[in-house]
């Protein structure tokens, strides 16, 4: 994100700057929210902090560049840019979902009955593996997103909103609404809710727990990858280590909203994005990343169950 020069800030009305920060925050926040959904869904069902989830987002960002490059060569981008972007989003999401499902099968499924820390360590192994895998195959230097997104923008209450920002927010809303409908309305969604409540009981009632878990990883990875492609478009650069910080922040968002709680993750992502944007804009830009963690620590101490979470008493 770039900050306007000092003189420009003075000439801009304070209110305009505030709204600009809110809009920037909402854009980043909706990306956090999309990644956070994967964390929260997996945690809700497996009680596992899937540390490799940030890497799936990173894979998605790379896939976005790779696939869009391929489509440009194939001529689809010249034919219709929106169609090319749509294909890129879906394809990057699908391939990342395949990665997510494979990761679950290889690294987590064998450890379902193991001591609680074992899958966590295994997740960290996956994370290290995927980072180095991408570094080796794609190089350690920054990858540039092709410069084909039009830089048009509209004015909204004195703030400048780019088309891309509108697209990111709109796409996130559509995906989140879709996910909500999926969880609440479909048979598989019901199975997911049952499994999250009680894995064993759901299994006894005829739910195929293994496939529910696979579907959870597939959906979570798809959303994270779409977020990755959109971030690649937004910032224009990706690197093999972007998954770590984004993953941590998205996890923060999930905890902020009450982990395991799907609407909570959406709210947590948006709140975190806005807080971070305001904190960086008004307080100390160099402490932007620390600010997110500080908010997290404070919220956890004051309200450990998260914004929308319910207080779960210790089970005896």
Partner 1 sequence: MGLLRNRYIKAVAVSAWMGLLTVPFAGTVTALYISGAILAGSALFAAFRAFAGTGALSGAGTMSMKLEEFGVSLTSGRRSVIALGVLAVILVVFPFTSNRYTLDLAVQTGIYIMLALGLNIVVGQTGLLVLGYVAFYAVGAYTYALLSTGMGVSFWAALPIAAFMAGIFGLVLGAPVLRLRGDYLAIVTLGFGEITRIVLNNWDGLTGGPNGISGIPRPTLGPIGFEELTNYYFLMLIMVVLCVFVVRRLNDSRVGRAWIAIREDEVAAEAMGINTVWMKLLSFGLGAVLAGLAGVFYAAKMRFVSPESFNFLESIIILCMVVLGGMGSIPGVILGAVVLYLMPEALREFQQYRMLIFGAAMIAIMVFRPQGFIGTKRRRIEMAKG
Of 105 and 193, CB closest to partner 1: 105
68 Cβ partners below 8 Å, 6+ apart? Answer: 77, 84, 85, 88, 145, 146, 148
Beta bridge partners of 161: 154
How many whole angstroms separate alpha carbon 104 and alpha carbon 57?
Answer: 15
Minimum distance from CB of 10 to partner 1 (Å)? 26
Contact status, residue 259 vs residue 92, Cβ threshold 8 Å: no
Minimum distance from CB of 82 to partner 1 (Å)? 22
How many whole angstroms separate alpha carbon 267 and alpha carbon 254?
Answer: 9
Minimum distance from CB of 121 to partner 1 (Å)? 5
In 3D space, the residue among 6, 23, 36 whose CA is nearest the CA of residue 308 turns out to be 36
What are φ and ψ of residue 232, in 5° steps? -60, -40
Residues that bind partner 1 (CB under 8 A): 43, 47, 49, 62-63, 66-67, 95, 98-99, 102, 106-107, 110-111, 114-115, 117-122, 124-138, 244, 248, 251-252, 255, 259, 286-287, 289-290, 293-294, 296-297, 300-301, 304, 312, 314, 316
Contact status, residue 65 vs residue 182, Cβ threshold 8 Å: no
CA–CA–CA angle 207, 213, 219 (5° rounding): 120
Of 147 and 286, CB closest to partner 1: 286
Give buried/exposed letters for 54-66 (b at 16+ CB in 10 A, else e): bbbbbbbbbbbbb
Of 132 and 141, CB closest to partner 1: 132
Minimum distance from CB of 128 to partner 1 (Å)? 3
Of 165 and 306, CB closest to partner 1: 306
At 238, is the secondary structure helix, strand, or coil? strand
Burial of 81 (0-12, 13-18, 19+ CB in 10 A): middle
Q: On the CB side of 81, how many CA atoms lie within 13 Å of its CA?
A: 6
Of 186 and 211, CB closest to partner 1: 211
Minimum distance from CB of 100 to partner 1 (Å)? 11
Of 20 and 252, CB closest to partner 1: 252
Minimum distance from CB of 266 to partner 1 (Å)? 19
How many whole angstroms separate alpha carbon 95 and alpha carbon 115?
Answer: 31
Minimum distance from CB of 16 to partner 1 (Å)? 29
Of 161 and 280, CB closest to partner 1: 280
Of 91 and 274, CB closest to partner 1: 91
């Amino acid at each position: 994100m770039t900050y306007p020069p000092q003189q420009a800030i003075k000439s801009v009305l304070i209110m305009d700057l505030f709204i600009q920060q809110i809009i920037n925050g909402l854009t980043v926040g909706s990306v956090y929210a999309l990644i956070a959904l994967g964390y929260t869904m997996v945690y809700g069902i497996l009680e596992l902090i899937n540390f490799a989830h940030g890497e799936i987002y990173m894979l998605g960002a790379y896939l976005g560049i790779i696939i869009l490059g391929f489509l440009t060569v194939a001529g689809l981008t010249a034919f219709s840019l929106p169609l090319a972007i749509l294909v890129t989003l879906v394809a990057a999401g699908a391939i990342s979902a395949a990665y997510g499902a494979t990761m679950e099968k290889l690294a987590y499924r064998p450890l379902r009955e193991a001591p609680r820390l074992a899958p966590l360590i295994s997740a960290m192994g996956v994370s290290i593996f995927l980072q180095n895998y991408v570094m080796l195959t794609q190089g350690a230097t920054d990858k540039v997103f092709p410069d084909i997104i039009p830089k048009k923008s509209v004015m909204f209450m004195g703030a400048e909103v780019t088309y891309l920002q509108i697209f990111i927010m709109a796409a996130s809303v559509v995906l989140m609404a879709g996910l909500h409908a999926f969880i609440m309305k479909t048979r598989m969604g019901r199975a997911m809710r049952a499994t999250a409540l009680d894995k064993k009981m759901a299994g006894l009632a005829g739910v195929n727990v293994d496939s529910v878990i696979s579907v959870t990883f597939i959906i979570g990875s798809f959303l994270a990858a779409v977020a990755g492609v959109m971030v690649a478009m937004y910032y224009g650069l990706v690197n093999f280590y972007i998954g770590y910080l984004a993953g941590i922040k998205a996890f923060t968002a999930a905890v902020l909203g009450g982990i395991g709680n799907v609407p909570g993750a959406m709210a947590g992502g948006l709140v975190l994005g806005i807080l971070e944007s305001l904190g960086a804009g008004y307080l100390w830009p160099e402490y932007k990343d620390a600010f997110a963690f500080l908010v997290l620590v404070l919220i956890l101490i004051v309200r450990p169950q998260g914004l929308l979470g319910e207080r779960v008493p210790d089970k005896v």
